[in-house]
Amino acid sequence: MNRLYINPLPVRIWHWTNALGFILLIASGLQIRYLDLIQWMSFRTAVVAHNWIGFVLIANFFVWLGFYLFSDKIKVYHPELSPAKYFRASFRQMQFYGYGIFKGDPNPHHPSAYRKFNALQSMMYQIIMMLLVPIQFFTGVLLWDVARFSSIVERLGGVRVVDTVHVVLFILFSGFIIVHVYLASLGHTPSAHFKAMITGYEEIEDEPKQDAAS
């Protein structure tokens, strides 16, 4: 078993702050949206907490962005430019998650410090971090002070449009977290990826030795 330093400290700090923040944002957001059904706290506390946590996570996003922009580890987010190669790798990974894993097949992706994501993670994390998270923060800031940002809100189609985008993304993120945590439990042991996001080190299983006769 080898150890590979895969998650540098800034990524780990960003990630767990972000995960906790998203859970709190979802909880307070649910109460703000469904006031009749959920009353975990007073409405005012939910709004104030939602705004504050939102701003903390926006600042935290720049920890993630700054780390990757100013280090060569940005390579882990470089997309695969050959569509054929990308689709082959995605298909292999889907086959593994949907079938191979239940037969005990080895994971087709072998992580390294600069290629830690498999094809599916790579696409998913790019969309989440470079598109959906920024849109969620942007619409959140607009809704935080609609009067101040009224000209931008109007240009985007009004409060209803901005609010709908914010709520649709909230539903997507809630679903993403469930799938993400499930997939994160599919390491060589159920806790392997979680430990790697805490300690920084991923344990890499040795390749099975080829029989000399085969």
Q: Give the interface with ligand HEM as residue ranges (CB under 6 A).
A: 7, 11, 15, 18-19, 22, 121, 125, 128-129, 133, 173, 177, 180-181, 184, 193-194, 197
Pick the closer one to ligand HEM by CB: 15 or 115: 15
Pick the closer one to ligand HEM by CB: 33 or 180: 180
Q: What are phi and psi of 91, to 5 degrees?
A: -65, -45
Q: Tell me the C-alpha distance between 199 and 8, whole Å.
A: 9
Q: Are 44 and 188 in contact (CB under 8 A)?
A: no
Residues 6+ apart with CB under 8 A from 111: 4, 6, 117, 118, 202, 204
Taking the complex as a whole, the smallest distance from the CB of residue 189 to ligand HEM amounts, in Å, to 12
Pick the closer one to ligand HEM by CB: 113 or 146: 113
Taking the complex as a whole, the smallest distance from the CB of residue 151 to ligand HEM amounts, in Å, to 29
Taking the complex as a whole, the smallest distance from the CB of residue 194 to ligand HEM amounts, in Å, to 5
- Per DSSP (E only), the strands in 64-205 are 201-204
Pick the closer one to ligand HEM by CB: 8 or 100: 8
Percentages helix, strand, coil for the chain (3-state, rounded to 5) are 70, 5, 30
Taking the complex as a whole, the smallest distance from the CB of residue 121 to ligand HEM amounts, in Å, to 6
Structure-block tokens of residue 176: 């993403």
Pick the closer one to ligand HEM by CB: 98 or 175: 175
- Per DSSP (E only), the strands in the chain are 2-5, 201-204
Taking the complex as a whole, the smallest distance from the CB of residue 136 to ligand HEM amounts, in Å, to 8
